[in-house]
Structure 1
C-alpha cells in the first residue's frame, strides 16, 4: 500500500538521530574492515601478523554488528515495508544480505581459528577474508547511497517515535567503540585507534618503532584511566540508587543495610579495578613484545637501527 498523500516527510532530531547512529556504526565497521585488510595483506606478504587481533576482528563482527547493528536495521526496514509496500522486495533482499553476512562472518572466524591451529594455509584466510571485506563495503555503500535516503523520504516523525518505542531497538553498547571498551576487545580497540591514526603509513610505523611503542603504551594507560573512571562512576551511581531503594523500602534498618550493601559494592569495585590493572599490565607487556618483534624484523632485513 502506497503512503497516504497526507504523510509529511520526516524531519527533525528523532529521524536525524536514528540515521546518524546507523552511519556512525557503519564508520566503525569500516574502520575494523580496514584493519582486517591490513592483516590480510600482511599474511599475503609473509610479514609479522598479529593473529590475536585477527581473531578479535571477526569475533567482534559476529558478536556486535551481526547481533545488534543488523537486527536494528532490520527492525527499521520492516517498518518501512509496512509503510510502503513498494519497498518490501528491496527490504527483504537487505535482510537476506544481513543473514548471509552473519553466516559468512562465522565462516571467516572458523577459518581463522583453523589457520591459527595450523590446519589451513594463510592463502585460504586471505581469500575468505577479502571476500567478506568486499561484500561488507558493498552492502554498507548500498545502504548509505540508496536505502537511507529512501527511509528519509518515507518515514514520518510518528514512525520514528513508534520505532524508538521498540525495546529491541535500544542499542547495546558497542564493545569496541562504546563508552566502555570490553576487556576481551581491548586489544582490537587499541589496534583500530592506531590504524585510524596512521592510515596507510605502515612503513613509517616500522621506522618509528620506539615512538610507536611509546604512543601505544600511552594509549593503554589512557584507556585504563578511562576504564577506571567509568567503573568508579558506575559503582557510585549504583550505590546511590540502591541506597535510595533501601531507605524508601526499609527506613528503620536502612543504616545497617546500606553499610552492608556499600561493603559489597566496594569489594566488587576493587575486584573490577584489580582486573583492569592486570589487563593493563598484560597489554603493556604485549606492546613491548611487539616492539621487540619489529626490531628483530628490522635487523633481519638489514635496516639501519
Structure 2
C-alpha cells in the first residue's frame, strides 16, 4: 500500500539533498567575481532550510513518526535517539552557519575557514541523517505501522507543501525567496551558476 507521508518525506529529503549539493558546489567555487550574489543566495538557501525542513519536516518526524516506529519496533530506539539528537543539532547549526557566513561576508577571509569547517560538518551529518532515516526508520515504519497511524501521518505531512519538491506552488509569502534561489543557485536546485 502507498503511504502519502512516506512519499512526502522522501520528496522532501530529495529536495533538501539537492539544496545541500547546490550549496556545496557554490561553497567549493567560492564568491569568484560576484560575492554579492554568492552570499545572498547562500543566505537564502540557509533561510529556506531553517524555514522548511527545520520547522515543518523535523518536528513531524520527531513528534509523530518516530514515537510510533519506536513503539512498534523497540529495537529502533537507538537509531531514533540519534535522529532526534541530529534534529536538535541541525536546528541550532543552521542558524550558527548563517552567522558564520555573515562573518565571512562582513569580516573577510579571516572568517572563511571556520565557516567551511562547520558547513562541511553540517552537510555531511545532514546527508547521513537522511540516509539513516531512509534505510532504517522508513522501511520499519512501512512494515509495522497501522492504517490508523498512516491516516494521521498522511494528514499531517500533506500540510507541508514544500515548493522545492516541484509539486507545490510557493506560498505567496515565500515566492520571492524561491525565485531568488531558483534563479541564482546552481543545479540541481537552480538555474543559475551560483
- Which whole-Å CA distance do the structure 2 matches of 1:171 and 1:136 have between them? 23
* Deviation per residue, 1:218-255 (Å, 9 max, x gap): xxxxxxxxxxxxxxxxxxxxxxxxxxxxxxxxxxxxxx
Q: 1:19 to 1:172 in 2, by over 3 A?
A: closer
- Which whole-Å CA distance do the structure 2 matches of 1:54 and 1:99 have between them? 22
Shift of 1:147: 1.9
What is the Cα-based RMSD across aligned positions, in Å?
Answer: 2.6
- Which whole-Å CA distance do the structure 1 matches of 2:153 and 2:134 have between them? 20
- Does residue 1:37 correspond to 2:21, yes or no? no
Contact 1:175 1:182 in 2 (8 A): no
- Does residue 1:117 correspond to 2:89, yes or no? no
Shift of 1:151: 1.4
Higher RCO structure, 1 or 2 (CA under 8 Å, sep 6+): 2
* Deviation per residue, 1:117-163 (Å, 9 max, x gap): 22652222222211111111111111122221111111122321243
- Does residue 1:89 correspond to 2:81, yes or no? no
Unaligned runs of 5+ residues in structure 2 are none
Contact 1:58 1:105 in 2 (8 A): yes
Shift of 1:106: 1.2
Count of aligned pairs between the two proteins: 184
Q: 1:162 to 1:69 in 2, by over 3 A?
A: closer
- Which whole-Å CA distance do the structure 1 matches of 2:89 and 2:125 have between them? 10
Which one of the candidate residues 125, 128, 133 is aligned to 2:118? Answer: 128
- Which whole-Å CA distance do the structure 1 matches of 2:164 and 2:24 have between them? 18
With normalisation by structure 1, the TM-score equals: 0.54
- Does residue 1:68 correspond to 2:56, yes or no? yes
- Which whole-Å CA distance do the structure 1 matches of 2:60 and 2:184 have between them? 27
Contact 1:61 1:105 in 2 (8 A): yes
Q: 1:27 to 1:123 in 2, by over 3 A?
A: same
- Which whole-Å CA distance do the structure 2 matches of 1:197 and 1:81 have between them? 34
With normalisation by structure 2, the TM-score equals: 0.82
Who wins on radius of gyration, i.e. which is larger?
1
- Which whole-Å CA distance do the structure 2 matches of 1:158 and 1:197 have between them? 35
- Does residue 1:47 correspond to 2:37, yes or no? no
Alignment correspondent of 1:196: 188
